[in-house]
Chain A
């Protein structure tokens, strides 16, 4: 089933799939992208946000008079003003509520307290320290594991009936009894406390908005780089009571998202309110520290896990999770999945049973739990299970690849129903693992490691094998705020045979303008350069749920493929009339319908398009024109997977970890543009290195964020990233029209466990008692592990 050869561009495949250079590059390499801050509207005012210095404090009073006296300040908006507009609180993406501006009290450091509107950005920021807020500090809870202690301060006293800091009640999946049985019958059991610490997607462009409300017409134009413009429009219509057809959201170019730009943030609502109040366009853009301290963080999962084996094979898994959701529950995931897709944690293995419990708590920290290049908590799940499998292999004295090989789901078992209720579509895991071993020369690496151990050197080899579920999702199971997770596509072929395809998902760098043109090209035979891809403008694209959870290719990609086929079907009927034959007597080759048995007789898509709009005869009853529309409802998620091997060296003197090699073999089904797929993998691997070794959002006991700038929140540069070694297998998705599965997040999901497994493997060469270390594996934390005092980060 699997093959390691990518589909080459050949004379038979002259257009469509392949390493097409990106269409969107032309503007970016000239510095002509249009990011939010590049937009200037006449008469535009500028906003800035005053934020709380305290993690938990009562607000006794807010005095804005001195700020208002400053030259150039137009207004200062506080919770009181928003109350009169009914905008003081807003719903989160998870059906919780959150304060737009704090009125009663602040619940985390960096929370929005007041919004200044001024003639320029410098003045707006000058006004912030002139606002006088009388705070009365309250006790703080930052550790999720202590949030439910009886003496923990109540954070959400705004919620009627809320008596503790429980954000979501315990949610379970799997079969507890069966899992208990598997553990009772097991030969080996291993238990670990594993923390996936809080980190941040930190796209290079921070969040912001320009709102332009026209009081004469009631039209609200919004410029805002976000990952789900249609959903945002619906939210603004509901929150602000504005008519949805009078709201237009334009994303333009977005400087990265990685999940961080899915939610609606308080700053957006403030900007809209400010424009309505001021009757002028208002721009607000956060600075980097505002971005890191107040917008959606990722992970913060405390996982207590046990895994067991019988007869040399993995048989059971039990996990108990405490999730830290911060001050509001604004995690981003489908409504019926309060722990996201965490229960995919049974991984790539045929377990006899598994059981998962997750509960979420409020803490005095910024809210989020959004994905960071992760399909709804799959990153946490994969990290946990791949750490546990390694721990189990160590306990059993078996090579970690050997244990995985013994326990993999076999190719003939697909579609495979997991113990927690997922139906994996297709795979050949052992084959992919073997390709990774070959590239790595695994046996040789183990020999090298043994030789180095003799010399006292700490070399580690880490393995991870992941299965992801992406492309959310089927409407009967998945919605966000009640909106089904389907995507629209709209294709118009013009009389000259050139085409415009409008899609409902929005690029933040993934190359949609190229990939989606390639899909139409492949289906219709129109060259990619003659296909314009429209996206990111709610007035110019059909409704859909956006780009995150690796869903663009699985959902929108399928929509574009099927809408093209609809056009092709219509073209066939028109061609039959043109060629005076029956449709069933025609055959299709790239770009042309021709008469079976008489290939000379044919009509190209250009000929057909011209005919469709002309005054000449069309098939009886057919409307003119050559276009089509579709809304795609995926029948299942797609399940990309991959085998990753990481080689690290640890300096025994400084405890510095160096990633020497990283081998990534991904199977994401059919690759539309392998160049872009490789690029996505490179980027995700770099993020994985960041998460495993450098990136951490931590807090002191008073709730002060300790990583609020790029001085303390460390992101890998070119110096920390090795030359990645990629390989591939191709196991098509059976239900996707192109066989594609999606890839964006896979490398971020798969790389942290490979790296941490490598770090532990290296440490064990000199310190065999080390059995776990939590991320990030910074020198101080690795050093502590060497001294036998590894602690989870705060």
Chain B
């Protein structure tokens, strides 16, 4: 079957098997390998992307279900050569070691901040709890998201 998905603003059309997972579609067709795969049971969150703005696990969505919808991946965070504050925060606060969970963690965090620009630590932890990071112990991820929230608040105030 043929599906058309808008990924990071670009339409991608391809013939797929009905069983193809969205995560595989994203990684194979436009070759956006920043979205990772880490488990068979929808537990790890390495595959989190945004589907029409919602953070979803792309291993739990069929490519066919995303037909006609918009997907944003980690590659879509940076705009016009400018890093998203969440990306900057992850770097500033050492919120990544091996980097494998990082795209999923950043997409979940971006979705949170869009909805709640001033989250508490507890809210940040809840928002990223659909993902597993084996390396960082989460503390610096929480700090990174807080950093990004503060940075965005500053920018808003300046504007």
Contacts and interface: CB of A to CB of B under 8 A. Distances in A.
Nearest to B102: A28
Contacts of B124: 718
Interface in B28-77: 32-41, 43-44, 46, 73-75, 77
Interface string B101-140: 1110010000000000000010011101111111111111
Given A35-B36, A718-B129, A679 B97 contact: yes
Given A37-B37, A718-B142, A21 B134 contact: no
A509 B39 contact: no
B104 to A, nearest CB: 9
Given A122-B17, A204-B101, A508-B98, A37 B33 contact: yes
Interface string B9-39: 0000000010110000001000011111111
Contacts, number: 168
Interface in A496-516: 508-511
Given A683-B97, A717-B131, A29 B38 contact: no
Nearest to B96: A28
A37 B27 CA distance: 9
Contacts of B128: 717-718
Interface in A226-265: 253-256, 258
A256 B91 contact: no
B129 A22 contact: no
A401 to B, nearest CB: 25
A288 interface: yes
Contact of A255 (B39, B75, B100): B100
Contact of B94 (A30, A122, A256, A679): A679
Nearest to A29: B87
A615 interface: no
A31 B103 contact: yes
A25 B91 contact: yes
Nearest to A719: B129
Contacts of A254: 98
Nearest to B133: A204
Q: Interface centre among B20, B33, B99, B103, by most A CB within 10 Å?
A: B99
Nearest to B73: A31
Nearest to B99: A28
B72 to A, nearest CB: 11
A255 B125 contact: no
Contact of A288 (B17, B38, B135, B140): B38
A226 to B, nearest CB: 14
Contact of A710 (B43, B106, B141): B43
Contacts of A679: 94, 97, 135-137, 140
Interface string B136-150: 111111100000000
A31 B131 CA distance: 16
A485 B38 CA distance: 32
A72 to B, nearest CB: 12
Contact of B39 (A27, A256, A710): A710
Nearest to B46: A204
A681 B137 CA distance: 8
B140 A682 contact: yes
Contacts of B129: 717-719
B137 A683 contact: yes
Given A258-B134, A717-B129, A718-B142, A29 B106 contact: yes
B41 A710 contact: yes
Given A29-B83, A31-B32, A288-B38, A710 B44 contact: yes
Given A22-B91, A718-B129, A719-B129, A510 B97 contact: yes
Q: Interface centre among B17, B27, B44, B130, by most A CB within 10 Å?
A: B44
7 shortest interchain CB distances as A-B pairs: A31-B34, A509-B98, A255-B100, A28-B99, A682-B137, A509-B97, A31-B74
12 contacts: A21-B92, A25-B90, A29-B87, A32-B34, A254-B98, A289-B40, A686-B137, A710-B132, A715-B132, A717-B129, A718-B124, A719-B126
